[in-house]
Amino acid sequence: MSDLQRRALVASPTPQAQEAARELADAHDWVHPEDADLIVALGGDGFMLQTLHAMLERRKPIVPVFGMNLGTVGFLMNEWQRHGLNDRLARTKPFKVTPLAMTAVTVSGDTYSLPAINEVSLLRETRQTAKLEITLNDRIVMPELACDGILVATPAGSTAYNFSAQGPILPLGSNLLALTPISPFRPRRWRGAIVPDKARISIRVLEPGKRPVSAVGDQREVRDVARVDVVIDRSRELTLLFDPEHALDDRITMEQFAA
């Protein structure tokens, strides 16, 4: 096995994924993820996000990931198959995914910087409606949004929480972000916006003491935020590998026609 073919195997702790990992363990010469040029991930979409975040936080350079679904939905995964992995990897179609960079400042003045592959979401913490001010490229575009929350979604994440909140599905390569309110109360008819992915989005929490808000980057939460800034982080581009007949761009497109 040449250096360009070094592969690592990672698996979700679920029984199904662990059993699949045991089946593949002796079929290939695996290396530690830190030494790999390609990672095979077994699990669901949540585990895929964990795997990608681990690379964003710990390793350089970032390497491609080929996922096989041993979870529930598996939108970011390929079909699980025990045999033919070498041939599948030779035929894969790569897709670039650019994460968001979230910078959250809390009421107490602490600052947290977190990546988000699917979305950044702001959510009310109590029964009190959140009140938010939205700024786009240093221009206040909405002085006050009363809502349960708001999210900024990438094309890769537009079919997840964003779509459940009635946000738009964004094609891969569209260079767009979705800004989607969650249960907006005022302005009641505002359904969100589609903005260029080069935009700088800032969200300020109004009355944070009375109406506390948390910010979540994919699966990591920062509570009691006062302000959240979101931009695309082009310095940490990720690569997902897919079977040609199971390509991510086609799946995202077809989600618009799902019943």
Q: Which residues are catalytic?
A: 45
**Separation CA 45–CA 51 (nearest Å):** 10
160 among annotated binding-site residues: yes
Q: Are 21 and 49 in contact (CB under 8 A)?
A: no
46 among annotated binding-site residues: yes
The first and second tokens of residue 48, run together, are 């895929």
The first and second tokens of residue 86, run together, are 């070498």
Residue 231 neighbours by CB distance under 10 Å: 17
Q: What are residue 149's DSSP bridge partners?
A: 123, 182
258 among annotated binding-site residues: no
126 among annotated binding-site residues: no
162 among annotated binding-site residues: yes
For residue 88, CA distances in Å to 27, 49, 116, 219 come to: 14, 22, 28, 30
239 among annotated binding-site residues: no
146 among annotated binding-site residues: no
224 among annotated binding-site residues: no
Cα end-to-end span (Å), the chain: 45
Annotated binding site for NAD(+): 45-46, 118-119, 148, 156, 159-164
